[in-house]
Chain A
Amino acid sequence: MIELRNVTVRYGGKLVLDRFSLELPGEGLTALSGPSGCGKTTLLRVLAGLITPEGGTVAGVDPRRTAFLFQEDRLLPWRTAFQHIADVLPRSRRGEAADWLAFAGLEGEGGTYPAALSGGMARRLALARCAALGGDLLLLDEPFAGVDQERTAALLGRLRGLTVPIVLATHQPQVLAACGRIISLDGPPLRCV
């Protein structure tokens, strides 16, 4: 169980999380749903340890054991698809990079640079890199943005097979339908509705 208790986060004087409390299941797929700008990304970043809250506590998450998929792909223009995966794997597991490319349906694209990938392919590569990093919790911010429905369904199936708890922010009905729990949010400041 992941627990946020009275968490407060402010951006430039604006309260995004105001003594926000939430319990998240420690297994399965959990979706965070809500309008753009309500604070979903901020919540995920707090869980990933990328933002230190002004106040409150976060329990049940070790930021050193989480993998975070940023809302942007953040691919490196000078690294190939294979290198992107290999870079996050320990030396002894570099051979698994090809399996993770297959996970994202990018077989045969190992030598391709990001500039030559379509938006959907780039997103899948970023997702595969995040999943390859692994850990005790995957935090995914809009993981299927720009990915077609067929690929999204396939990737959701593969993500479920990872047996790692996943918390994702999404607007896509197809993704929401596949999640075990949906938390509807509104804001800012962020609140459950």
Chain B
Amino acid sequence: MARRGRAGENGMKRPLKILVPLAFWLLVWALASWAVGLELLLPGPLAVGRRLLALAGRLDFWLSVGATLGRVFLGLLWGALAGAVLAFATHFSTWADRLISPAVRVVRATPVVSFILLVYLWAPRSAIPWVISGLMVLPVVWGALSAGLDCMDKNMLEFARAYRFSRLKTLKIIYFPALRPQLAAGLLTAFGLAWKSGVAAEVLCPPLWAIGSRIQQAKLGLETPDLFAWTLAIVALSLALEGLLRRGLERGTGRD
């Protein structure tokens, strides 16, 4: 006997699959806000939506969003590059492995707040968010690529040797395409970390233009609807950018 899928799920149209859960959680939020009855503690979705629309009409909103995005992507870029270089170094050199691998593991285990406060002592305030984002990205990309390098198909590497491929050609034709799935998975995980740690760094060490700075101001002014509106903006941006990144990486991991 054929088994039926989860109650009518296959027949449900894509917009409904998104809208129904969204409506459900907005309703839960509205009811919770109504039950609390104090906007200072828990503003309702309508108040937050109105505030977000008002903020989105101002130039400083977009300047803050743009600056934060720039810092997160700068962190993602340097962290991914450094993670990739170190993954190859630790894979191919025993001494690099002995020296660098424990240090990367320490970075991975260190709480982000400790790093933010430490980097605050050493770097200018505007640099802290992208330095922190990169530090969170580096171990993730390093770990993903190291695992990929350990699992490389030995037959393919022997083929490259037998067919007299140069090191550069072996990297380009064998290693890089074989490692794309690991790199894509690592980058997707790292992006979420870069985003969250970057904004956290902006909150603790607020630069002039930054989403984190606006969140900090909202908190100090007890403007809870603003705090929620900025958080909503972060969540929306994060989901949208992660979707774009995923689509781009899926295209990249396909054939060239």
Q: Does B162 contact A (CB under 8 A)?
A: yes
Residues of A within 8 A of B256 (CB): 78
B75-100 to A contact mask, C-beta < 8 Å, 1/0: 00000000000000000000000000
Query: Is A64's CB under 8 angstroms from B173's CB?
Result: no
Minimum C-beta distance from B250 to chain A (A): 14
Q: Does A133 contact B (CB under 8 A)?
A: yes
Residues of A within 8 A of B158 (CB): 50, 70
Which residue in A72, A76, A80, A129 is a CB contact (below 8 Å) of B173?
A76
Which residue in B156, B162, B169 is a CB contact (below 8 Å) of A68?
B162
Query: Is B255's CB under 8 angstroms from A76's CB?
Result: no
Number of interface residues of B (CB under 8 A): 16
Residues of A within 8 A of B155 (CB): 70, 72, 74
Residues of B within 8 A of A129 (CB): 163
Contact residues of B between 150 and 187, Cβ < 8 Å to A: 155-156, 158-159, 161-165, 169, 173-174, 177-178
Which residue in A64, A76, A80, A133 is a CB contact (below 8 Å) of B174?
A76
Query: Is B173's CB under 8 angstroms from A79's CB?
Result: yes
Q: Does A87 contact B (CB under 8 A)?
A: yes
Query: Is B162's CB under 8 angstroms from A48's CB?
Result: yes
Which residue in A67, A68, A78 is a CB contact (below 8 Å) of B255?
A78
Query: Within the assembled complex, what's the spacing in Å between the Cα atoms of A42 and B169?
Result: 27
A72-B155, A76-B156, A113-B255 known; A88 vs B163 contact (CB < 8 Å): yes
A79-105 to B contact mask, C-beta < 8 Å, 1/0: 110000001100000000000000000
Q: Which B residues are closer than 8 A to A by beta carbons? A: 155-156, 158-159, 161-165, 169, 173-174, 177-178, 255-256
A-B contact pairs, 12 of them (CB 8 A): A48-B162, A50-B162, A68-B162, A70-B162, A72-B155, A74-B156, A74-B159, A76-B174, A78-B177, A78-B255, A78-B256, A87-B163
